[in-house]
Amino acid sequence: MNIFPSVVENIANHAAANPDKLALADSKQALTYGQLWKCIYGLSQKFKEMGVGFEKCAVVECNQSVDYMICDLAIQLLGGIFVPLEKNVAVARAVEITTDTEAVLYVSKAPLEAELPEGIEPAFWNIDDCALHPWEEEIPELQFPKSEDVCEILFSTGTTGKSKGIVLTHGNDIAIAENVMYGVQMKKNNVEMIPMPTSHSHGLRRTYSNLVNGSSVVFVDGVTLLKKVFNMIEEYNVTSMDLSPSMLSIIFKLSKDRLGDYADQMDYIQLGSAPLPEEDKVHLSRILPKTRLYNFYGSTEAGCSCLLDFNNMAGKKGCIGKPAVNAHFIVVDENRNEIQSSPDNLGFLASSGAINMKEYFKAPELTESAMANGFVYTKDLGYIDEEGLVYMLGRKDDVINYGGIKISPEELEAIIVKNPIIKDCAMIPVKDALTGQAPKLLIALEKEDGSEYDAKEFKVFLQENLDANKQPKYIEIIDEIPRTFNGKIKRNVLMDREK
């Protein structure tokens, strides 16, 4: 198939070739490629009148809908820069990002009720009106965005510090789309359900991948309303899903093995954004034995760079698979020198390729600290084996050095959370006079009154399931483990509690 330099140009070509094919659907509306393209172009003409143009930023609050994606693509068609905000964003965050990007347009359900600095006066558009202005005449021949043009700025959730703006080009989006399409062996008739927030890279990139491929996307807002999720799976004959590990856990808890009812329908399920516990991998493989099951590794800065088909490659602890088609991995030391890595000689993972971001927004020093020589460098500890398989064993910042013993919190958390009285848990380092650092375990209980918790019994459980040199030195019960939208533990928040 021909792949064009931008997502929106691919949509225009699919609209010409297959105008009646389903493109996007949510609980309120569904659009074919022909209808979607008319809506995108029609809305772009409205936005053009409001000042959106080449390299002009437009801030859009997500509502996980067809309207939202029309808005995104209309901005990109004009050469503008799409800047998404999470659903129900705090006013202070909306003001900060609108101001920093000098946005000319603000899209949400209601205008931004806050005082903005002088010179920042974005026009307002109601996000519910995005599909109401389809172009009824013949669409003229257009000049589409170029591969090197900036198309979006994605602001991180700031779990390890201040939120960063990741600047991405159309070429980045296409390269990542190819990684996903080829990585999951996406078929033309694919219908993918995306409950992951499309204000963030994970859900947004899976949507782009399907639109580049000419297949279909069904949006749902999370998975807590499981009846609606399963109804839409059946209504649209969904053949694939994009989930975070936390969403999969919710589905298992609320519906047990219900996903197994679609074993003959599901072509693949892809997961990412956080490590997937081994027991969930095994469970999913058991109830969907014929479905391809993928776990993606990546970041907003270098997305969807490595993937593992864990239904066909089980039993390799810490393995994140092989690099995707547009990614290349190396392992480096603390000075960014490439090393010959192994299980006994870990280093830091770094990746290169057309997927890598252009830069951090208005942060040249931060960009320089993360990128050099065509690589994005991480703090993820790992190695590459003789078969070219990549292993990630935790972040350097998260690893606890307990008297010379290196403890990966994620490894222990996946074991501890199996205890039926534990709702959630997190392991963090705390200062210790004797060893420098010591592991502290924070637990949230299934029963808030703590009636099932017995400290002695719980310590016996830990002794039976964890190595003697990896036992937590301290244990504390808290109400809730703070997590991001995609399930990552906010360790910085928990560590700040200890100061």
**272 pLDDT higher than 80:** no
Measure the CA–CA gap between 44 and 64, rounded to whole angstroms: 20
**114 pLDDT higher than 80:** yes
Measure the CA–CA gap between 123 and 60, rounded to whole angstroms: 12
Measure the CA–CA gap between 428 and 425, rounded to whole angstroms: 10
The phi and psi torsions of 89 (rounded to 5 degrees) equal -60, 145
Measure the CA–CA gap between 58 and 21, rounded to whole angstroms: 29
**Segment 261-288 mean pLDDT:** 85
Question: Looking at the DSSP assignment, which residues form a beta bridge with residue 24?
Answer: 31, 217
**382 pLDDT higher than 60:** yes
CATH class of 400-496: alpha beta
Model pLDDT, residue 12: 98
Nearest CA to 80 among 109, 114, 117, 43?
43
- 453 and 421 in contact (C-beta within 8 Å)? yes
- 218 and 236 in contact (C-beta within 8 Å)? yes
Nearest CA to 58 among 148, 147, 113, 124?
124
- 328 and 343 in contact (C-beta within 8 Å)? no
Model pLDDT, residue 499: 76
Domain 7-391 falls in which CATH fold?
Rossmann fold (3.40.50)
> Residue 207: pLDDT band by 50, 70, 90 thresholds?
very high
Residues 17-41 pLDDT 10s: 999 999 999 999 999 999 999 999 9
- The structure tokens 């509306």 sit at 29
Both tokens of residue 492? Answer: 């910085």
Nearest CA to 362 among 101, 81, 59?
101
Nearest CA to 176 among 322, 319, 353, 10?
353
- 320 and 391 in contact (C-beta within 8 Å)? yes
- The structure tokens 């019994």 sit at 457
Measure the CA–CA gap between 459 and 441, rounded to whole angstroms: 11
Model pLDDT, residue 479: 92
**Segment 203-221 mean pLDDT:** 97
**Segment 120-130 mean pLDDT:** 97
> Residue 163: pLDDT band by 50, 70, 90 thresholds?
confident
> Residue 160: pLDDT band by 50, 70, 90 thresholds?
very low
Q: Which long-range contacts (CB under 8 A, 24 or more apart) does 184-188 make?
A: 184/240, 184/268, 184/270, 184/292, 184/294, 184/307, 185/268, 185/292, 186/210, 186/213, 186/215, 186/240, 187/215, 187/239, 187/267, 188/213, 188/214, 188/215
Is pLDDT larger for residue 35 or for residue 299? 35
Model pLDDT, residue 162: 62
Question: Torsion over CA of 247, 397, 297 and 93, rounded to 10 degrees?
Answer: 60
What predicted TM-score, i.e. pTM, was given to this entire model? Answer: 0.85
Model pLDDT, residue 157: 63
Q: Do domains 7-391 and 400-496 have the same CATH topology?
A: no
304: left (phi over 0), alpha (psi -120 to 50) or beta: left
Question: Torsion over CA of 130, 193, 179 and 148, rounded to 10 degrees?
Answer: 10
**Segment 89-106 mean pLDDT:** 95
Interacting residues of 325 by C-beta distance below 8 A, sequence separation 6+: 178, 179, 182, 183
Give the residue extent of every domain in the chain.
7-391, 400-496
Model pLDDT, residue 159: 43
Share of the chain above pLDDT 90, in %: 72
Measure the CA–CA gap between 284 and 493, rounded to whole angstroms: 31
Measure the CA–CA gap between 234 and 42, rounded to whole angstroms: 32
